[in-house]
Amino acid sequence: MSKDPAVLVVRACGGLKATAALVGKDTSSVFRWRSPKSKGGADGRVPGGNLFLIWCELIRRGKPISLEELVFTEQERLLISDLENANDNTAQDPRSVEFDEANIGEGQ
pLDDT band at 83 (very low <50, low <70, confident <90, very high): confident
For residue 29, being part of any structural domain is answered with: yes
Q: Which residue has the higher pLDDT, 94 or 85?
A: 85
Compute the average pLDDT of residues 73-89.
81
Helices marked H in the chain: 5-13, 16-23, 27-32, 48-60, 67-71, 74-85
> Looking at the 3D structure of the chain, how many domains does it have?
1
Establish if 79 belongs to a structural domain: no
Tell me phi and psi for residue 26, to 5 degrees. Answer: -85, 160
Tell whether 35 is covered by a domain: yes
Q: Is the dihedral of CA 34, 36, 37, 41 positive or negative?
A: negative
Residue type, 92: Q
pLDDT at 105 over 60: no
Rounded CA separation 30/35 (Å):
10
Confidence grade of residue 91 (pLDDT, cut at 50, 70, 90) = low
Is there a domain that residue 90 lies in?
no
User: Distance (Å, rounded) from C-alpha 52 to C-alpha 92?
Assistant: 30
What CATH number has the domain bearing residue 17? Answer: 1.10.260.40
In a domain, 83, yes or no: no
Nearest Cα to Cα of residue 101 among 48, 41, 33: 48
91 is a domain residue: no
